[in-house]
Every structure is written in structure tokens, then in C-alpha cells.
Amino acid sequence: MTDKKKLLRSLAGEAMDVPPVWLMRQAGRYLPEYRATRAQAGDFLSLCYNPELAAEVTLQPIRRFGFDASILFADILLIPQALGADLWFVTGEGPRLSTITDASGMAGMKTKDDIHETLNPIYETVKILAEELPKETTLIGFAGAPWTVATYMIAGRGTPDQAPAHALREGDPATFEALIDLITDATIEYLDMQVQAGAEVVKLFDSWAGSLKGEAFDKYALAPTKKIITELKSRHPDLPVIAFPREAGEKYIGFADAVGADCLAIDTSVDVTWAAQNLQVAGCVQGNLDPKLMVTGGEALASEARRIRDALKGGPHVFNLGHGITPDADPENVHILLDAIRS
């Protein structure tokens, strides 16, 4: 396997003393070159839909830091927009969408086959990256998992407890399940096109999976993810998939096997010794440094990075954060992190 890219080796099950490294949101506002390119684009969505500029910001952290993987610059809410939802971003507050609160809201939605006209610029970005990334760097495509995407489509924004989505799930299950099914089918087509364009790995972000409990977790976090991965692997048998059911707690156990994922990303709350004993025995684990340490820096960052690396070096591991890097992170601290892991 030594001729493979380092990330692909970990996803295939190889344990390494020095794991591959990439960071969630590694192309982002903490980098001055990103802020300059976003200003050039005009706004966030214009940046997402400009293939040349989206490719540029994706490449920026690779040039600066030499990460082992690059993740496509896009957003999980492009799928709702492609399906017909109104989407805009409020400065300092985040995304806003038109809402789906009953069956009438579903009537105006497009089908899975109608999304590509909107999303074609994203596929063009992937094609550019496949050509321009260093040969040793793995290209990751991604999408939001259906539950998390649905929470935004129902509430029209991010919410602390996903209460509007839970209310629809319990009060109008037919509409809720129709929405989950639509997002699931559209996500399969979206990720399939990313792979056809050159993505070597895909990741599913279920940022709000932890708010689902018991059978609801199995039905709306696990089952849709399994359907997506099963279909993608039927079309692309060698495609590695990373699943991230954030804050799943005990539900992390067995999740990767249940959905067919090659790697399980874990959040900051997970103890890495527990992860080694309960999760890594089943395959690759990704994570899980606290993003706050990318602000703190210094020896606190370096020692914690080494601790995570050493705790998980007995099995396949992809070093990453437990959530995305924040805008107040110091780019110099990324060098401290990489020196600590790779030394």
C-alpha cells in the first residue's frame, strides 16, 4: 500500500506512526488569503459557485501547510438551494433558508434529477482541483447528511436544539420522511457527480446527529447514511467514505460497520482511549483535537496533538479536529500542530 496516497492508506486500514493530517474548514476565514479571495468573489455563495475562485481557496491551505488531503470548498446547504429552497447568508449570523413546515412546502421542491444545473459549478471546481492538487494530496468531496440538511430546511436557519425539525418529525412524519427521502436521493446524485469529476474520497457531515436519540437516531441518522453509502459504493466500488455523526456518543459504536463507512470521524467530546478500544477496533478513526487549541497554540496544542496521535497509533487514524477550525485561529498554530504530529 506504500504507493498509495497517505490518506487512502489509512482509509484502507493501515496503521501509521505518523497519520495523515487535514483539518475541517481548513480553507476558511482564519487565512488572510482566503479573506482576500472571498472579498474578490463578493460574497460567500458567489465564492462557492465560482469554480476558479473556489478551487483557489481550496488550494490555499495546501500551499501554505502541505496537508495530506484537500476538501472541496462548498457548503452543505447548496443541496437545498438546488432543490428549490431560497438560500442567503446574513453577515455575522449565518445561513437563512425558506422553510418547509408542512406538505405544501414539499410541493415546490425539484427532483433529484433537477439539481445539476445549479450544482454544475461545484463539479467544475472538483475537476480543477483534480488537475491542480499535488499528486500526493487526496481530494475529498462532501455533503451534509440528510438529517442535518433537513434541520436547516425546516427551521430556515441553524438552531441550538433542532426543535423545529423534531416537531415536524413527530407531528407530520409523512412530510418529514418525504423530505429526508428527497435529500437522500439528491445527495447520492450530488456525490456521484463529485466522484465522476475527480473526488477520491467523500465525507458525510451529520453535524446535528447527536440530537436524535434511540430509534430516531437509527431511522434518521443511520439509515439515510447507509442508503447513500450503499448506492455510492455500488457505482464506485473502491470509493472510501468518511462518516461524521457528530455527538453520537455511544451510538458511535458500530456506526461505521452499520452504514458501510471506511472511516468514522469523532467529535471533541470523545475520549481517544475509549475510541481506540471501542471504535478503532472496527476500522479507521478520524479526529479529534479541540479547535480551541488552534487559538491557544503553544505547548498546550503540541502536547495534546501528540497525545491523540499516540493514543490512536495502534490502528488506522486520520488526524483532524473534532469540529471545524474557527476564524480566530492563528495560522502559525497550524505549523505547531503539524510539527508536533510529524516530528
Catalytic residues: 25, 29, 38, 75, 152
Chain center to CA of 27: 13
Contacts 24+ apart (CB under 8 A), 36-39: none
CA-closest candidate to residue 133, choices 49, 60, 230, 26: 60
C-alpha to C-alpha distances, 92 to 46, 96, 119, 203, nearest whole angstrom:
17, 12, 25, 27
Percentages (nearest 5) of helix, strand, coil residues in the chain: 55, 15, 35
Q: Specify the residue for cell string 475562485.
A: 53
Nearest-Å Rg of the Cα atoms of the chain is 19
Within 10 angstroms of residue 268's Cβ, the number of other Cβ atoms is 16
| Rounded Cα distance, 204 and 134, in Å | 24
Residue type, 41: A
